[in-house]
Chains A and B, each alone.
Chain A
Amino acid sequence: MVNYGGDEVSALVVDMGSSSVRAGYAGDDTPKAIVSSYYGYRPTAGDSDVQMGDTAGESNPEAPKPRSDAKLYLGQHGPSIWRAGMEIGHPFRDGLMSDFNPIPALISHALVDSANRERMAEIMFEEFQVPAFYIANTGVLNAFAAGKGSALVVDVGHSMASITPVVDGFVLRKGLVYSALPKLVHAHAKHILANPTPVRRGIELYPHQLIATKISRGLLVSLRYTRIGSPEPRIAGGHGMKTAEVDEWIQSVASVLDQGWNEQAAASRPPRQYEFPTGYNMYFGAERFQVGEQFFHHSPQLVAQNPNLPKNIPALLSESLRACDPDLRQVLMGNVVLTGGGSLFAGFADRLETELSRNIPHVKIHAPGNPMERRYGGWLGGSILASLGTFHQLWISREEWQEYGKAIVGQRCK
């Protein structure tokens, strides 16, 4: 046991992302539960008090019972099932576990500011009565998942791209940079799909749930489909059903060229077919490469149009490196860890390598080939950390929480 330093205390590891919450026991290699971070709710006029529902209760939402109060739809089948009048919300909030004793919880969090972390600790100790608690940075955990103590973690998530320099398991806060780049890519993809082009008209992005019948007649033929439910589901916080459709399209069709934008190269790649829920069927050629280009290069006119455009990956990288010590830069560039579900974008790792090696001589990118490891790297690192014997002295115990209060969070979780 001591040989590999592991000592499992069945700690609970929760990794919260903007698209999904991952939870499981420390020592496992994959999370036990992957739950959508979105939740559905039906607003009611009077009562805004929200009843927490657990996953088990919501696992059969196929026949939603009529409810008088506002009802949360959580979990795997919560927000992804269409219900009349349901809105989709997105809090950072967990209502999944009720009995934590005697399970300590490790929460992985991208947030650095202490107020949020203290609030999280408060929720865990006061509401869920956990015996011990620790909060770790996602970037650090990603580095641990890659087996590195010092690394430059390039994390491309669902809505945020971040670059975190990690040294000896500590985040260098001055070098930590964020941008909402994936959102921009998403918006770009949506723009491409929704706007008509010379060869096709704009595509209607209705989810499967809204399509009652459809007759697909092959490519570019006028479609016939009927929708159920007259009003479009309202979209809260910029997320909704259309988002899922665009995401689906990005995941299956969109790609990025590995050697930089080049019209000929894009045209020479084979086009890829995609059928939308409406039955609209289309081959996507060069368009699908334009989408990924947003990660690495912004066209000058786009920059001119919106001044506060999220920074692209090379800009983020150089900004992060500039904030680091010159001695560290070489070390960090030799340990680039690519992680996050967004980095599974086709061709992303190759392109990143090309971009980096263009400017920096010795670059080594660690990008796990296993998609599970890439998507749940933060959780995996937490699982590794919380199962280490030497880690157990770092927990904030309930006793300490009661003695020192909120200050202990900042002191312990450096």
Chain B
Amino acid sequence: MALSASDIRSALSLPQSTPAPAHHRKTHPSTTKKPDGISRELYSLIGPSAPSLAAHLAKPRLRQKPNLGGGGTVKWEHRPFGNSARSDTLQLFHWVKLSDPIGDYPFAKYNVQPQSYTYSQDEYSRLLEDSEWTKEETDYLFSIVQEYDLRWYVIHDRYNFPDGPIRAIEDLKDRYYSVCRKLIRNRPCAGDESSRSQLLNSYQFDKEREKMRKNYVASLEDRTPEEIAEEEALFVELKRLEQNERKFRKERDDLLRTLLGADSGLPDIVVEEDGPAALSIEGIRKKKKGGPDFDLPPTPSNIIQLGPPVSKRPPPPKSAVYDAQHCIVRVDPPAGSSNTTKVTHVPAHLRSFKLPVPKATIAPKVAQALAELGITYSRLVMPTRDNCSQLESLLDATTALIETKKIVDRVEQDIRVLKARLGIRESESADRDPKESTPMDVDESKQDRDGEGEGRAQSVIRGRKQLCRSISVSSIDTSASLPTRTGTKRQKRG
């Protein structure tokens, strides 16, 4: 900021030291530079020194209005139009943009007529004779079908052939579609055979089935509230039974696994809860595979169908050769399991995905033992078949080692306990004499009352004895309970 002496003078209303023209000359350019949106008075107060403030005070600009439609006003015209969907020359008026071309009426294209069949007298007498339908009524049917664009409910509603029998909607449909089918079959077709059969399929109508279905629908509506409630209760019951069935199956699998161990062939994966839909699909698939299997007692559910075990089917020799050639190794499906459920299925997998893993309970110990030996087992650099089996044997050995170590530890512990018990026995036999003379205590208490000073020293000694006795008692208690406790432990382990 260039604060000149004259400015200060003028602010302090001091007399001018410099001539006035100089002042004029100075202020003049500043007024010309006055930015927009700021009043002249304010600008002359703040001067050109606060451009940022001036920018803030600039007149706010409104958001630019969207410029719709290339500028200028749009001219509209009240224009007459014809409709090519009409057979007459009706002229209606509507407003359109002047720029819009005069063309065909845009909505005329929605006037779509369905394909319809007509037949000649010759065709009728050759093909379409029917004892229930006269030619006149068939003609009437075709005209009304055409008129109402195959809206069958409306056709049935408006169907009124004079002196004709009362027709059900299925009768009308059946007659119409059967006539169409006959015409398609007996006329030369433009397309090939497949397109003709496709066309025939689209005119398929099974009258009896439709009638039965309609009867079912009607009977559904005639149900009383009690029947509806009963039906719902039955449905809930069915759901419950299905659930029970799943539970039962799961438990049976568990039981088999427990009884047969690894031989059961059932995987250790927990059976996931399948929805009834999944089960039924599975059931269908199994039904396709073959008849029931007799190895296992059949389950009461009709959903679970046991298919023949895949393992019993020997692989075709050609594929064996092929396998050998391409180093394909097939994993034997779990032997003894004939239950090909979803969980027992072993899909193709990478070998490294199925690396043997120690049991979770002893995994840290295995890791520790191997770490002591300087082996990291969690990652195989090259999981070939040999390496995998070696790793497996290594883990087996380590597991065995740890098991052995455990047993050794336990035996040592038992020995220690027994030794301790032996020591207690010996100490007990040493203590036996004072233990038997319990009446002395009473005497001692008497002595206490007699002589205070001496009694104190005695009581200290007696206190020690009692302490010792109490320890021995407790040790006896523990020795009595200890074998049973270890016994239970063993039972659990076994």
The interface of chain A, by Cβ under 8 A from chain B, is 1-2, 5, 7-10, 102, 104, 131-132, 167-168, 170, 172-175, 324-329, 361, 389-390, 392-393, 395, 397-400, 403, 414
Minimal Cβ-Cβ distance residue in B for A393: B85
Q: How far is the CB of B113 from chain A (nearest CB, A)?
A: 12
B218 within 8 A of partner (CB): yes
Minimal Cβ-Cβ distance residue in A for B220: A326
> Contact partner of A172 among B86, B106, B153, CB < 8 A?
B153
Stretch from B20-28, B88-96, B126-134 that touches the partner: B88-96
Question: Which of B145-160 touch A at CB < 8 Å?
Answer: 147-148, 151, 153-154, 156-158
Residues in chain B near residue A104, CB distance under 8 A? 92
Question: Which of B207-229 touch A at CB < 8 Å?
Answer: 214, 217-218, 221, 228
Q: How far is the CB of B161 from chain A (nearest CB, A)?
A: 15
Known pairs A9-B93, A325-B214, A327-B217 / 4 extra A-B pairs, C-beta < 8 Å: A170-B157, A172-B157, A389-B105, A395-B92
Residues in chain B near residue A326, CB distance under 8 A? 214, 217-218, 221
Bound complex: CA A398 to CA B92 (Å): 12
> Contact partner of A9 among B94, B154, B218, B221, CB < 8 A?
B94
Bound complex: CA A392 to CA B151 (Å): 21
A8 and B95 form a contact (CB under 8 A): yes
Given contacts A10-B93, A173-B158, contact A2 B106 (CB under 8 A): yes
Bound complex: CA A8 to CA B96 (Å): 10
B158 and A392 form a contact (CB under 8 A): no
B294 within 8 A of partner (CB): no
Residue tally, chain B, CB below 8 Å to A: 31
B147 and A414 form a contact (CB under 8 A): yes
B221 and A174 form a contact (CB under 8 A): no
> Contact partner of B88 among A102, A361, A399, CB < 8 A?
A399
Residues in chain B near residue A389, CB distance under 8 A? 105-107
B108 within 8 A of partner (CB): yes
Residues in chain A near residue B107, CB distance under 8 A? 2, 5, 7, 389-390, 392-393
Residues in chain A near residue B90, CB distance under 8 A? 131-132, 395, 397-400
The interface of chain B, by Cβ under 8 A from chain A, is 83, 85-86, 88-95, 105-108, 110-111, 147-148, 151, 153-154, 156-158, 169, 214, 217-218, 221, 228
Bound complex: CA A365 to CA B477 (Å): 82
Of the listed residues A132, A326, A399, A403, the one surrounded by the most CB atoms of chain B closer than 10 A to its CB is A326
Residues in chain B near residue A325, CB distance under 8 A? 153, 156, 169, 214
Residues in chain B near residue A1, CB distance under 8 A? 106
Bound complex: CA A326 to CA B156 (Å): 13
B217 and A393 form a contact (CB under 8 A): no
A102 and B147 form a contact (CB under 8 A): no
Q: Which 3 pairs across A and B sit closest by C-beta, in order of nearness? A: A389-B107, A397-B90, A393-B85
Given contacts A326-B218, A393-B111, contact A399 B106 (CB under 8 A): no
- Sample of 24 A–B contacts (CB below 8 Å): A2-B107, A5-B107, A7-B107, A8-B95, A9-B92, A9-B94, A131-B92, A132-B92, A167-B153, A167-B157, A168-B151, A168-B153, A168-B154, A170-B151, A173-B158, A326-B217, A326-B221, A361-B228, A389-B107, A392-B83, A392-B86, A393-B111, A399-B88, A414-B158
> Contact partner of B92 among A168, A173, A175, A392, CB < 8 A?
A392
Residues in chain A near residue B108, CB distance under 8 A? 393
Minimal Cβ-Cβ distance residue in B for A397: B90
Residues in chain A near residue B151, CB distance under 8 A? 167-168, 170
B106 and A170 form a contact (CB under 8 A): no
Bound complex: CA A389 to CA B217 (Å): 39
A170 and B148 form a contact (CB under 8 A): yes
B154 and A167 form a contact (CB under 8 A): yes
A414 and B148 form a contact (CB under 8 A): yes
Bound complex: CA A380 to CA B153 (Å): 26
Residues in chain B near residue A174, CB distance under 8 A? 157
Bound complex: CA A276 to CA B360 (Å): 91
Residues in chain B near residue A393, CB distance under 8 A? 83, 85-86, 107-108, 111
Residues in chain A near residue B217, CB distance under 8 A? 326-327
Of the listed residues A131, A174, A393, A397, the one surrounded by the most CB atoms of chain B closer than 10 A to its CB is A393
Of the listed residues A173, A325, A400, the one surrounded by the most CB atoms of chain B closer than 10 A to its CB is A325
Minimal Cβ-Cβ distance residue in A for B100: A1
Of the listed residues A10, A131, A392, A395, the one surrounded by the most CB atoms of chain B closer than 10 A to its CB is A392
Q: How far is the CB of B303 from chain A (nearest CB, A)?
A: 29
A173 and B88 form a contact (CB under 8 A): no
Residues in chain B near residue A400, CB distance under 8 A? 88, 90
Minimal Cβ-Cβ distance residue in A for B107: A389
Q: How far is the CB of B104 from chain A (nearest CB, A)?
A: 12
Bound complex: CA A10 to CA B156 (Å): 36
Q: How far is the CB of A386 from chain B (nearest CB, A)?
A: 11
> Contact partner of A397 among B85, B88, B106, B111, CB < 8 A?
B88
Bound complex: CA A61 to CA B107 (Å): 47
A397 and B86 form a contact (CB under 8 A): yes
Of the listed residues B106, B110, B154, the one surrounded by the most CB atoms of chain A closer than 10 A to its CB is B154
Given contacts A392-B92, A392-B107, contact A328 B153 (CB under 8 A): yes
Bound complex: CA A369 to CA B151 (Å): 32
Residues in chain B near residue A8, CB distance under 8 A? 94-95
B89 and A170 form a contact (CB under 8 A): no
Bound complex: CA A7 to CA B85 (Å): 15
Residues in chain A near residue B83, CB distance under 8 A? 392-393
Bound complex: CA A250 to CA B248 (Å): 66
Residues in chain B near residue A403, CB distance under 8 A? 88
Given contacts A326-B218, A327-B214, A392-B107, contact A170 B86 (CB under 8 A): no
B110 and A390 form a contact (CB under 8 A): yes
Bound complex: CA A9 to CA B88 (Å): 17
Of the listed residues B86, B92, B217, B218, the one surrounded by the most CB atoms of chain A closer than 10 A to its CB is B92
Bound complex: CA A131 to CA B90 (Å): 8
Minimal Cβ-Cβ distance residue in A for B219: A326
Minimal Cβ-Cβ distance residue in A for B78: A10
Residues in chain B near residue A167, CB distance under 8 A? 151, 153-154, 157
Of the listed residues B85, B151, B169, B221, the one surrounded by the most CB atoms of chain A closer than 10 A to its CB is B221
Bound complex: CA A10 to CA B80 (Å): 12
B89 and A399 form a contact (CB under 8 A): yes
Residues in chain A near residue B95, CB distance under 8 A? 8
B221 and A172 form a contact (CB under 8 A): no
Residues in chain A near residue B221, CB distance under 8 A? 326, 329
Of the listed residues B107, B111, B169, the one surrounded by the most CB atoms of chain A closer than 10 A to its CB is B107
Of the listed residues A168, A390, A399, the one surrounded by the most CB atoms of chain B closer than 10 A to its CB is A390
A7 and B94 form a contact (CB under 8 A): yes
Q: How far is the CB of B120 from chain A (nearest CB, A)?
A: 25
Bound complex: CA A168 to CA B153 (Å): 9
Bound complex: CA A3 to CA B380 (Å): 65
Bound complex: CA A174 to CA B221 (Å): 20
Bound complex: CA A395 to CA B83 (Å): 11
Residues in chain B near residue A392, CB distance under 8 A? 83, 86, 92, 105, 107
